[in-house]
Structure 1
């Protein structure tokens, strides 16, 4: 399950990558957590628009969100059959931009268990997009909350050494098809597949990422894996230095 991700590229780079019309200005985020506002790209008037949504999908029929489990990941294999997600899969598909996400590898049991965080990113540090579904939840007092969750599927070869599930990362050539409001769930089902093994590299990082309050470049600093635990074949030990360019705050 993907429970943390990152957006550290400048806003201009994301706008160029996803082609939305707005010009949002936001700071780098290294450790985005569930329930926080996250950028979403939607189809709009023949183009695309940028919007912030709450990471944590709430179906429209839910009366009290407190009684509904926090949904940050949606299984691609069953979304079309689940009442909570099938309407969103039909009409409310979107992109969740990112340039990294984290997963934890568990080995051993009990007090001997070892839990290691890994950063997954493109070797060229470029942006990518999770396939995602969104919904607007309406409260009884008339207020609204736009909510979103990413799609997940079986792990690819790079992820399999760490976790058995992987976010669905769309090929940029498939963005138009995924965002097409006239496409049916059956037509887009073929897009919900594991990313190519070579798309991502796995970088072992320190456990600073475990704490939500840590949201700076230090959470992506590579580190040696713990003794006796094999590093996956796609792991890298290099990282570009992260900088703070003084951009304004948005989320």
Structure 2
């Protein structure tokens, strides 16, 4: 499951794109201080857009990725099947997410790292939820489902990137989750091998 993603787009572009979709974004805690990051890892703080007051609105805030589960392990992914999510929904801005597979070649110690980006947009939003935890405060997690054709060769589960016409619906908890959460068409997500680099991989062949 996804334990690493990328966000290099700036906050101004995020707000502008939401405005183009007629989704009014408020920043109740001020403009989030967000630096471009190639890797956002579990327990890092990153921006989310959570449901606002009424349809067509959202709040942009910085929150921690994952909260402690009952077994002490971080809850960074959460199964979506059979759940309604009638509150505490959020959108997680990203311009890529990573999956890891077994090493491609003998002697390669690290897993092979793949970056998935959206074919038709420079950035996108992942469906998530947030919770308040007594020890760490508010935190978010990414929802998952059975993989689509683009991700299935790399992992048995996948996070849920949402097309832009579903962002407002996900921020509206009155819209049933099953009407919003779903897989993108084949070819929507583009995988790129980032480790080992192409040059290093060529030297192994």
TM-score bucket (shorter structure): 0.7 to 0.9
**As a proportion of its length, which structure holds more helix?**
1
User: TM-score normalized by structure 2?
Assistant: 0.81
| Partner Cα separation in structure 1 for residue 126 and residue 65 of structure 2 | 13
CA RMSD between the two structures: 2.7
Match status 1:137 vs 2:143: no
**As a proportion of its length, which structure holds more strand?**
2
Shift of 1:168: 0.7
| Distance change (3 Å), C-alpha of 1:225 and 1:167 | farther
| Partner Cα separation in structure 2 for residue 192 and residue 115 of structure 1 | 29
* From 19, 35, 40, the counterpart of 2:48: 40
Extract unaligned runs of 5+ from structure 1. Answer: 81-85, 208-221, 230-251
| Distance change (3 Å), C-alpha of 1:224 and 1:189 | farther
The one-character-per-residue Cα deviations of 1:142-190 (angstroms, maximum 9, x if unpaired) are xx6111100011111111121121111112111122111333xxx2123
Extract unaligned runs of 5+ from structure 2. Answer: 20-24
Could you say which residue in structure 2 is the equivalent of 1:30?
38
Could you say which residue in structure 2 is the equivalent of 1:223?
198
Aligned residue pair count: 193
The one-character-per-residue Cα deviations of 1:119-164 (angstroms, maximum 9, x if unpaired) are 101235511111101101124xxxx611110001111111112112
| Distance change (3 Å), C-alpha of 1:190 and 1:181 | closer
Could you say which residue in structure 2 is the equivalent of 1:10?
10
| Distance change (3 Å), C-alpha of 1:225 and 1:172 | farther
Matches within 5 A, 1:95-244: 95-106=91-102, 115-123=111-119, 126-139=122-135, 145-183=137-175, 187-206=176-195, 223=198, 226=201
| Partner Cα separation in structure 2 for residue 200 and residue 192 of structure 1 | 16
Match status 1:74 vs 2:78: yes
